[in-house]
Homo-oligomer: A and B are copies of this chain.
Amino acid sequence: MHSTNAPENSTATVEKGIPLTRSGNLLTDVPLPAAVIFEAPLAHNLAWMQRFADGHGAKLAPHGKTTMTPALFRRQIEAGAWGITLATAVQTVAAHAHGIDRVLMVNQLVGRPNMALVADAIKTGLEYYCVVDGVDNVRDLGAFFAERGLTLNVMIELGIDGGRCGCRNAEQVETLVTAIAAQPSLALVGIEGYEGMIAGGDEVASVRAYGERLVETVRTLRASGVLEREAPIVTASGSKWFDLIAEAFDKAELREHYTPVLRPGCYVVHDHKLYAGAMDAVKARDPKLEGELQPALEVFAHVQSLPEPGLAIIALGKRDIGHEPDLPLPLRLYSLHESLHGESVASSDISAWRTTNIMDQHVFLEIPEHAEIAVGDVIAFGTSHPCLTFDKWRRMLLVDKQLAVVEVLETCF
């Protein structure tokens, strides 16, 4: 049943979301579904967040796990970012292989094969930082990197009770400082935290307090002389509370003697609901803030079937688009069946329609009973939280306003 001469390396030509012609139009030349990034809001977001960090005297190291798209990492660096934040060793070496030379890995580095990957990257010029929150890991890292004759930069992670990783209190930090000092191959260079685990009660006050605790901790360590860096790093911030962390870090003393680093990731393409709401909250906290992030990521898909009045089945599923915390958000309908041969197609706003279910390869869309819609029409969907849409694609399409494909962006998940 299968040909023995089948080409083994032909997947590149048949992966989903690739235009049939490199300079094609999204509606006529791309086998849908396809994930697209609009170039204008992307450029806007890159500039906006860099300006925001600059304005607070902070460096920007965007979390790269959001996109794992080297072409976007490069744009972030070109816009002024100090480095890229990542979550794992494999993400780190993938970014380094694509030209990123400074990585904050905001997790403990565990497992000898992962350590070996990082050691090789350091040897070939990567400026690398990871975090530690336990003495076992400090001992393992110390032994491994001593064996390799390398120095590993580490930051102590500060966590919160009931949170994720990180030291819960000052005693644990002290214990770690002592453990790190006993490992000549480890250089303690700063403090890392993640405020995104804070939930419940007065969250704004809690995030502010956490930001101050990070600043106090790095000050204390610097004063005690245990930090092996002229301008020690203090870093935190996801994509929701970046403004509060920036305020906590925005001090003359930090600008002069430290390296404060913000790490939002989702900002680069933003979204249509979760972070759109977070942006509204940022603006409410600072009415003088200029401009705002704009949604840049959408997924285009065909109407697959119209089996009953009021129901459209879309050729799009969990394999193609994130569905948490909200199901995909219908934005615009392109009446493509009226225009099979490529004329420009008008779109209508369908943001009042509602996704009711999603399966591996299908989305269920509740539509008005007499909606003008046909099988073969195209719908653009937005997302709530962009991270889990990127990882569904090996390639994303950068498009202009006219939906012409400007560039094919490879991901490296």
Which residues of A are in contact with B by a Cβ distance under 8 Å?
1-4, 6-8, 10-11, 13-17, 19-20, 28-32, 65, 73-74, 77, 81-83, 87-91, 93-94, 97-102, 107-108, 110-114, 116-117, 125, 133-134, 136-137, 140, 159, 161-168, 302-308, 313, 315, 318-319, 336-337, 340, 359-362, 364, 374-376, 378, 387-388, 391-392, 394, 410, 412-413
- A295 smallest CB distance to B (angstroms): 19
How far is A304 from B4 in the complex, measured between Cα atoms in Å? Answer: 44
Residues of chain B within 8 A (CB-CB) of A116 are 20, 31
How far is A111 from B374 in the complex, measured between Cα atoms in Å? Answer: 12
Q: Is the CB of B376 within 8 A of A140?
A: yes
How far is A400 from B304 in the complex, measured between Cα atoms in Å? Answer: 42
- The answer to whether A97 and B7 touch (CB under 8 A), given A20-B116, A113-B30, is yes
Q: Is the CB of A413 within 8 A of B108?
A: no
Residues of chain B within 8 A (CB-CB) of A28 are 112-113
Q: Which of B15, B87, B112 contacts A412 (CB 8 A)?
A: B15
Q: A3-B125, A165-B305 are in contact. List 8 more A-B contacts (CB 8 A).
A: A1-B100, A8-B98, A28-B113, A65-B360, A110-B303, A136-B337, A137-B305, A167-B307
- Would you give 23 A-B contacts (Cβ < 8 Å), ordered by A? A3-B101, A7-B98, A10-B97, A15-B94, A19-B113, A28-B112, A29-B113, A65-B360, A88-B315, A110-B375, A110-B376, A111-B376, A133-B305, A134-B307, A136-B337, A137-B305, A163-B307, A164-B305, A166-B307, A167-B307, A319-B388, A319-B413, A394-B394
How far is A376 from B135 in the complex, measured between Cα atoms in Å? Answer: 12
- The answer to whether A165 and B308 touch (CB under 8 A), given A32-B114, A117-B31, is no
Q: Closest 6 A-B residue pairs measured CB to CB?
A: A6-B99, A2-B99, A165-B305, A10-B97, A1-B77, A87-B361
Residues of chain B within 8 A (CB-CB) of A20 are 113, 116-117
How far is A167 from B306 in the complex, measured between Cα atoms in Å? Answer: 10
Residues of chain B within 8 A (CB-CB) of A412 are 11, 14-15
- The answer to whether A90 and B307 touch (CB under 8 A), given A4-B99, A136-B376, is no
How far is A391 from B319 in the complex, measured between Cα atoms in Å? Answer: 7
Q: Is the CB of A376 within 8 A of B137?
A: yes
Residues of chain B within 8 A (CB-CB) of A19 are 113
- A28 smallest CB distance to B (angstroms): 7
How far is A374 from B140 in the complex, measured between Cα atoms in Å? Answer: 11
Residues of chain B within 8 A (CB-CB) of A378 are 111
Residues of chain B within 8 A (CB-CB) of A91 are 16
- A386 smallest CB distance to B (angstroms): 11
How far is A15 from B97 in the complex, measured between Cα atoms in Å? Answer: 11
How far is A90 from B32 in the complex, measured between Cα atoms in Å? Answer: 9
Residues of chain B within 8 A (CB-CB) of A136 are 337, 374-376
User: Which of A117, A136, A304 counts the most chain B CB atoms within 10 A?
Assistant: A304
- The answer to whether A2 and B388 touch (CB under 8 A), given A16-B90, A88-B361, A394-B413, is no
